[in-house]
Structure 1
Amino acid sequence: MRGSFDEVVDRVRDWLTDDGPVPDVVIETSGSSGTPKRVRLTRTALLASVGASAARLGASGPWVLALPPTYVAGLQVVARSLVAGHRPTLLERDGWPDGEGWFVSLVPTQLTRMLESPDDLAALRRAHTVLLGGGPIGAALRERAAGAGVSVVATYGSAETAGGCVYDGMPLDGVALAIGVDGRIRIAGPTLFTEYDGQPDLTRDVLVDGWFRTSDAGRLDHDGRLVVIGRVDDVIVSGGLNVPGPAVAERLRAHAGVEEAEVLGVPDAEWGNRVVAFVVPAPAMVSRLVAGAPHSSTTAELRDWVAAAHPRAWAPRQWVVLDAIPLLPNGKPDRQALRALAARDETGNEGAAS
């Protein structure tokens, strides 16, 4: 789905309403951890997702597009709005709608920044629902949004599931969840993709007996609510220990002096992988947190903050201070760019955890 916004909307409308058979739509994954995959989705799968989403939200209506329509989250915004009888609004061009009761889909970084903008915040308060997905969603961000009067529903899904198929931990109608013996989240139901374009071996590896084997680890609570632990490859093996990067990042985001944070593993000759924190400090901390200061009082404070909730060995060994987290076009953190930044800034390596 490439072209101008209006061209994409018109093509999606024709694809959804054509009376005859239509070809699959091909959506690329973000490629945040490697080469993007081309995911084939049927119209039936996309419409099943649109219908299940509206049923869970208890309403449908106009949508605001704040994500590229070339990715599944953006395509879903266009499709949901058209199915509800409304042409979507392009935020970048047209701004926020004046009325109330509309919908928007965001990624966590977008919501974090919009909560800091009085104009954006005023608009989000008028939305019926803000769907939030595309990455780890910390409890602190949910609490901030709720406290500001913004109605947020956390979603989990991927291009392979036609977008979000789990809302606030519970699967949409028709979607089945399971956890494999390897700890991977498995998903079944009418929203699944048909294949990876040109990659039959990979398709057979992840589509097994009607179930999609995701790349994410998770668990199901006693009430069947999904808890996403993080990507399987987000577990950093450092010095023989398994460190879940998303859990460390979420803890850092809860610190009053941190606006944004990501945590990744970077190859290290001594540790195998070292735990690296990429931090956007809050204004009050900017002058205190200096990149490359190995044992500054502030990095020590942040390490202690992590250690107060998790094993001390999980505390990052390297700190990269940024003005903003680099993002992919779909709003997700650019993990490859972050690792490149860490490799260029190895002076921040703090050595063994204390």
Structure 2
Amino acid sequence: MSERLPIARRAMNLGELLVQAARRHGDRDAVVSGDRRWTWRELHADVGALAAELRAAGVGSGDAVLVHSPNHVELIQAMFACWFAGAVLVPTNFRLTPTEVVGLAEVSRPVAWIGHADYPEHAQAVAEAVPGLRLRLRLAGDGDDSVAAAVARRRAEAVRPALVGRDDPCWYFFTSGTSGRPKAAVLGHDQMGFVVTNHLCDLMPGTDHRDASLAVAPLSHGAGIHFITQVARAAKTVLPAADHFDPAEVWRLVETERVSNLFTVPTILKRLVEHPEVRLRDHSSLRYVIYAGAPMYRSDQLRALEELGPVLVQYYGLGEVTGNITVLPPDQHDRPLPDGVDFGSCGVARVGMQISIQDDTGRELPAGQQGEICVCGPAVFQGYLNNPEANAASFRDGWFRTGDLGILDAEGFLYITGRVSEMYISGGSNIHPREIEEKILAHPDITEAAVIGVPDPDWGEVGIAVVVPRPGGELTATALRDWLAPKLSRYKLPKQLLFWEELPKSGYGKIAKRAIRDRLAAERAETT
């Protein structure tokens, strides 16, 4: 047996993808937003200058940079500038409250903050929670502390991507665990290089510099990974100008910019195909409409296929596996259901990835039997940042445990049947009940609370909070919702707040959520 040699290996810095795009297609459009267009050469120059500003502030290898912004070209500049500097990108969901963003900062311990000018409260909260920030920049603003000013003053000092090793992190991708506390999944440059290759191979084969992509989801998460694949092929990305989701604008841009691919979540896809503009605009340029993040009802799939044709691509994957578990290509969306299964498949294992359905002991189960979906392969993350307990719980014998339940059929098609955890997915966003319950229980007039995710035709799932008020109190659902609003992002607020005299308990005195779920289902059935 040959001896393993302790050779340190370099990885390709993700920033090299931008260097290569600018080198080969410098005069072509890279980003389009409203009336403004940036070529690959311009974008590369801006990123190099912003990276020089980071370096000048002492931000370098392994340092975390917290970035808080809705989609914007300067968000794209910040993403790649982090990698050029050798730093770790820590993007947030711009809908989070200042308190929630502080929670992410406490986990990632950033040395720099780049935040959209419309969110000064977030910037101030992070600055107070993380003293000693080396750099604070305002994105989409003006003044000496703006990204635009930093780019202008460092233009002559632009840097190229730093050298990185195969295990160097490039992205802290936040998710939630069984505790409801935010966890940072560590994504590395080598891992992301594989993910980019895999996305291009499985999701949008044949993509090149003549293609165009439309960003209709936040670039801080899965859509950001999708964007990187466009950079790898020098395909332009179009950013809608509206500050809210506007289906009419989306279809106008698909027509005028000849968009060939887009990434979204089922709830947004449903709204797009139900909007009248879908029949008024030319969308024949679309080759791949990629959706993920939540189950999609079969009726909604059929409607989308009817309106758009055979262009739907579904994939299943968690942030910890960077979306790379399965793919259901366009020609498999009409696949017949196996006996005993009432819902469609999410596809087969992605190239280079392996799926194992396991029981509680880690024993692999045969086709047709339900168990926990476990995966291995190059797309699996390095682990959670400074969280050995979560790492121990999430890996078993080298397999990453997704926490989802499913079955594989004889041909290797995966069917997701549920979740081991109680987390639910609403509008493509992972929501953990524990976080919401903790907030509700902080109210002085509440003694018990339970949050349950239930199916919803528009959002995939929504939350219902069942609470027990203190005797003699006069709390109403409206008052409780108003009290919760500043403490939780809007998408985390339960759709319904129900008041019960007591919550069912197990023999051990624990709240029995299954009994709550059954009662809610029975009450819903009675009203339909």
Shorter-chain TM-score tier = 0.5 to 0.7
Q: Does 1:196 align with 2:196?
A: no
- For 2:182 and 2:377, the matched residues in 1 are separated by 24
RMSD: 3.7
Encode CA deviations 1:233-280: one digit per residue, 9 max, x unaligned. Answer: 3599xxxxxxxx99x83xx74xxxxx56636675589xxxxxxxxxxx
User: What secondary structure, in the 3-state scheme, does the structure 1 residue paired with 2:200 have?
Assistant: helix
Match of 1:117 among 275, 285, 298: 275
Residue of structure 2 in register with 1:170 after alignment: 348
Q: Which moved more, 1:108-117 or 1:92-101?
A: 92-101
Higher-Rg member (1/2): 2
Query: What percent identity do the matched residue pairs reach?
Result: 23
- For 1:235 and 1:6, the matched residues in 2 are separated by 33
Q: Does 1:212 align with 2:400?
A: yes
| Map 1:238-253 → 2, pairs under 5 A | 249=455, 253=457
Residue of structure 1 in register with 2:142 after alignment: none
- Moved runs in structure 1, 4+ residues, more than 4 A? 30-33, 92-95, 263-269, 348-354
1:164 and 1:111, CA in 2 relative to 1: closer, same or farther beyond 3 A? farther
Q: CA deviation at 1:222?
A: 1.3
Q: Does 1:343 align with 2:498?
A: yes
Encode CA deviations 1:43-87: one digit per residue, 9 max, x unaligned. Answer: 11122111112112322243221111222x122122111111134
* Aligned 8 A contact 1:160 1:193 in 2: yes
| Map 1:196-345 → 2, pairs under 5 A | 196-234=384-422, 249=455, 253=457, 262=461, 334=491, 336-338=492-494, 341-343=496-498
Q: Does 1:20 align with 2:156?
A: no
- For 1:352 and 1:141, the matched residues in 2 are separated by 22
- For 1:344 and 1:351, the matched residues in 2 are separated by 14
User: What secondary structure, in the 3-state scheme, does the structure 2 residue paired with 1:47 have?
Assistant: helix
Match of 2:233 among 65, 84, 89: 84
Letter in 2 for 1:131: I
Residue of structure 1 in register with 2:304 after alignment: 145
- For 2:178 and 2:388, the matched residues in 1 are separated by 21
- For 1:173 and 1:337, the matched residues in 2 are separated by 38
* Aligned 8 A contact 1:157 1:164 in 2: yes
User: What secondary structure, in the 3-state scheme, does the structure 2 residue paired with 1:342 have?
Assistant: strand
Match of 1:179 among 351, 357, 371: 357
User: Structure 1: which 5+ runs fail to align?
Assistant: 237-244, 254-258, 270-327
Q: How many residues align?
A: 274
User: Structure 2: which 5+ runs fail to align?
Assistant: 1-65, 85-159, 243-248, 329-346, 361-370, 425-451, 469-487, 502-518
| Map 1:9-88 → 2, pairs under 5 A | 9-13=76-80, 15=83, 18=161, 20-21=163-164, 23-29=169-175, 34-56=180-202, 57-60=204-207, 61-71=211-221, 73-88=222-237
1:222 and 1:268, CA in 2 relative to 1: closer, same or farther beyond 3 A? farther
- For 1:42 and 1:189, the matched residues in 2 are separated by 14
- For 2:267 and 2:499, the matched residues in 1 are separated by 24
User: What secondary structure, in the 3-state scheme, does the structure 2 residue paired with 1:185 have?
Assistant: strand
Q: Which has the higher contact order (CA 8 A, sep 6+)?
A: 1
* Aligned 8 A contact 2:467 2:499 in 1: no
* Aligned 8 A contact 2:172 2:185 in 1: yes
Residue of structure 1 in register with 2:368 after alignment: none
Match of 2:75 among 4, 8, 18: 8
Letter in 1 for 2:461: E
1:3 and 1:125, CA in 2 relative to 1: closer, same or farther beyond 3 A? farther
1:201 and 1:33, CA in 2 relative to 1: closer, same or farther beyond 3 A? closer
Q: CA deviation at 1:180?
A: 1.2
Residue of structure 2 in register with 1:128 after alignment: 287
* Aligned 8 A contact 2:212 2:257 in 1: no
Encode CA deviations 1:11-36: one digit per residue, 9 max, x unaligned. Answer: 44453883610543111127899333
Residue of structure 1 in register with 2:266 after alignment: 108
TM-score (norm 2): 0.46
